[in-house]
Amino acid sequence: MLRRQFLTLAAAGLLATGLSAPLHAQEKFIVVQSTTSTQNSGLFEFMLPKFQEKTGIEVRVVAVGTGQAIKNAANGDGDVLFVHAKPAEEKFVADGDGVKRFDVMYNDFVIVGPPSDPAAVAGSNNVTDALKKIAEAKAPFASRGDDSGTHKAELALWKAAGVDVKAASGGWYRETGSGMGATLNTGTGMGAYIMTDRATWISFGNKGEYKIAVEGDEKMFNQYGIILVNKEKHPNVKADLGQQFVDWVISDEGQQVIADYKIDGQQLFFANAKPGS
């Protein structure tokens, strides 16, 4: 009799454990749809363990171009969106896919080029003039061509410069359809100019003799934002856990972690969250 009761209790305990384990595992991680620059720069590797240590919540990052990250989040495939294309982010919220957008941090874009500098743009701080010179010289230019935040910003700058890169596609203007790291590898291999976010360039390990050719234009400002995916539209979203991540990223603690991330003494991102805004 006692043995039967023990076996019954043991079986009940195993059943309870089996039922609770998946729920516990499900509740302790979130999916963040983000851009390649936050991943390739090493920022997430630096900051996410600190968040997990504080909260016990694991963050699983899907690092793709901003355009794809927004599409993924709009399909409900993620709990938080962390990207850098403010107009597209604001549309994401306006469409009801996101709850509220917050500024997180910024850096800037730069154009890097080969030592030969065929378009004679090295040292320029006027990006539209530099792009015009690159187009006039028909100097090779490698673009991500992937609807990422960097690609969106690059196309806007070409438009401002009055250059139709669609007409030049396949000639001096080459689209890689790849992430920033892969585009830098391709571009440096073909002697092309490349527009990249500064953080990825600092962390890029295959620079060779390449250097920053164009920088310092306010048009090259690069703002990042964070948004909780809307649970009302996407019921699978882990809103409570996702909100904890958003709150931590824009808190004083999270902002200090972002500011503390450096490579060779160079700060890659500059925190500028305004939590109450």
- Domains of the chain: which residue ranges? 29-107+222-271, 108-220
As to burial, measured by CB atoms within 10 angstroms (0-12 exposed, 13-18 middle, 19+ buried), residue 53 is exposed
For the chain, state the CA radius of gyration. Answer: 23
Q: Kindly state the greatest CA–CA separation across the chain.
A: 92
Q: Rounded CA gap, 184 and 181, in Å?
A: 5
Where are the strands (E) in the chain, listed by range? 29-35, 58-64, 80-83, 98-113, 141-143, 173-175, 193-197, 211-214, 221-229, 262-263, 266-267, 270-271
Per DSSP bridges, beta strands 98-113 and 211-214 are antiparallel
Q: What is the pLDDT of residues 16-55, one digit of tens each?
A: 444 444 444 455 999 999 998 898 899 999 999 999 999 9
pLDDT in tens, 65-77: 899 999 999 999 9
Query: pTM for this structure?
Result: 0.84
Query: Average of pLDDT values for 48-63?
Result: 97
pLDDT score of 40: 87
Judge whether 262 and 268 are in contact, CB under 8 Å: yes
Looking only at the bridges linking them, the beta strands covering 80-83 and 29-35 are parallel
Q: Kindly report the CATH class assigned to 29-107+222-271.
A: alpha beta
Distance of CA 206 to the CA centre of its chain: 21
> Superfamily assignment of 108-220 in CATH?
Periplasmic binding protein-like II (3.40.190.10)
- Tokens (6 digits) for 166: 């669609």
Same fold: 29-107+222-271 with 108-220: yes
Least confident of 20-29, 70-79, 121-130, 265-274: 20-29
The owner of tokens 């009761």 is 5
206 phi, psi to nearest 5 deg: -125, 45
What is the per-residue pLDDT for 237?
A: 97
Mean pLDDT of 163-173: 97
Integer CA distances (angstroms), 228 to 131, 158, 234, 270, in order: 36, 32, 11, 21
Is residue 111 pLDDT above 90, yes or no? yes
